[in-house]
Amino acid sequence: MTFKEVLYSRRAVNFFDPDKDVPDLLLNKMIEMAAQAPSGFNIQPWSLIVLKEQADKLRLQQHAWNQQKVSDAPITLIVLADTEASKPGNPFLEKNFREMVNSGAMAEEQREWFDGVCESLYGASEARKVAFACKNTGFFAMSLMLAAKSLGLDTHPMDGFDIDAVREEFEIPANYWIPLLISVGYFKSDQTLTPPKWRKTIDEIIVRFD
């Protein structure tokens, strides 16, 4: 599949074949591909909870507008965005700084500057923390869906769920936002996909305000 074909054939599919499993190897490949997504200072504030057990998917579904695809799909992902990812002391921020020093992208003496930039750019307020976590995790989530399509899988993103209830049900720590769920599997062959949805035109997308 060309990249253009991947872009144009990805759809939010409502019906998954519950009898068609996704092998771990394929899921891992999809995650590995999506992990190439860019992020501010390469902080990568994303994580995934992978639900495969029917009982777990049903626990999620009850807090997700009872959307059937959550449990029909062989896998449903809870996508997490760490609002504390840019906070000094976060293990991945530490790892990131070490990697930058090791690769020569940053000098050891720039530590204080790096922490200051992270704080002022990404951690200055609650809104900024959530924005940082969610915008970067959005790139990762989109990459997951495109990677899935390129591997012959179908997906469905969802934000129709009760974030507080999902947090409580799966004991998700307070530092994570939950921007969306993504069901992953194979489109059910006896169903018909709805026609492609409308999209904004270039003229509708490009704006300026001065």
Ligand X SMILES: Cc1cc2nc3c(=O)[nH]c(=O)nc-3n(C[C@H](O)[C@H](O)[C@H](O)COP(=O)(O)O)c2cc1C
Closest CA to 146 of 35, 72, 49: 35
- Residue 163 makes contact with ligand X by CB under 6 A: no
- Residue 197 makes contact with ligand X by CB under 6 A: yes
Site for ligand X in 131-160 (CB under 6 A): 157-160
Toward ligand X, which CB reaches closer, 180 or 184? 180
Closest CA to 113 of 125, 101, 102: 101
Neighbours of 78 (CB within 10 A): 24
3-state secondary structure at position 23: coil
Site for ligand X in 12-71 (CB under 6 A): 12, 67
Toward ligand X, which CB reaches closer, 200 or 208? 200
What's the closest the beta carbon of residue 67 comes to ligand X, in angstroms?
6
- Binding-site member from 81, 147, 180, 184 for ligand X (CB under 6 A): 180
- Residue 11 makes contact with ligand X by CB under 6 A: yes
What's the closest the beta carbon of residue 201 comes to ligand X, in angstroms?
16
Question: Starting at the edge strand that comes first in sequence, how are the strands of the sheet with 75-82 ordered?
Answer: 46-51, 75-82, 176-185, 154-158
Number of residues that this document lists for the chain = 210
Both structure tokens of 144? 């997951």
- Binding positions for ligand X, rule: CB under 6 A: 11-12, 67, 157-160, 180, 197
